[in-house]
Amino acid sequence: MIAYLKGHFAIKTPTYTIVDVGGVGYHVNITLTTFSSIEKLESGLLHTHLIVKEDSHTLFGFSEQDERTVFVQLLSVSGIGAATAQILLSSLTTNQVRESIAAENDLTFSRVKGIGPKTAKRIILDLKDKISKDFTQNGNIPIHQGNMMKEEALFALLALGFQRQAAGTALQKVLKENDNIASLEALIKAALSQLSS
């Protein structure tokens, strides 16, 4: 699995980019959200997801790990292919996707090209439990809301075996009580202290 690509953006379009990594050009499909993030950059890093089929290997890239996470979750829904997930994440932000699922607002998804009423309802049904774990205990603040350091800390805590909701709640509490945390290491240590108390 290719986890990410870091290199020069040789070509950039609203739907794909060619990333030059050590002289090799990788064709990477992207969302409009990612295009907006890299449009003015000469080089950068894209979190990737590789889809392997009998007749093709297709790379999808995202400027944020969070967008890649939601993309993969959408692929788990019956009736949602990579192209539809790409269109959906070009039309909605990751927070809008989560909020619509949490509120069971299937109309938001039905407005996206390629998604009918049945598929919209299926997105909510299949992802409601997964998405609810991305929210804090009060049910309306996405764990991923905030800066990259917070997101990286969350993934580190998940890798250490903590539950997503508990880890997210601990991070929220640490950041609320300490607005002067400057490093990822300090944030993780403070969250670990919260989780073990």
**Helix, strand, or coil (residue 112):** coil
Fold classification of 4-62 is: OB fold (Dihydrolipoamide Acetyltransferase, E2P) (2.40.50)
d(CA 186, CA 189): 5
pLDDT in tens, the chain (197 residues): 789 999 999 999 999 999 999 999 999 999 999 999 999 999 999 999 999 999 999 999 999 999 999 999 999 999 899 999 999 999 899 988 988 898 889 999 998 888 999 999 999 999 988 775 555 433 444 444 445 677 778 888 887 778 888 888 888 888 888 877 777 778 888 888 888 76
Q: Please report the pLDDT score of residue 197 as a whole number.
A: 61
d(CA 190, CA 197): 11
CATH 1.10.150.20 residue ranges for the chain? 66-132
Q: Is 66-132 in CATH node 1.10.150.20?
A: yes
Of residues 10, 62, 9, 13, the one with CA closest to residue 33? 62
Q: Please report the pLDDT score of residue 133 as a whole number.
A: 58
CATH 2.40.50.140 residue ranges for the chain? 4-62
Would you state the torsion angle of the CA atoms of residues 190, 129, 37, 154, taken in this order, to the nearest 10 degrees? 10
Rg, Å, the chain Cα set: 18
The residue type at 8: H
CATH 1.10.8.10 residue ranges for the chain? 148-196
Q: Please report the pLDDT score of residue 114 as a whole number.
A: 83
pTM score > 0.75 for this model?
no
Q: Which class would CATH give 148-196?
A: mainly alpha
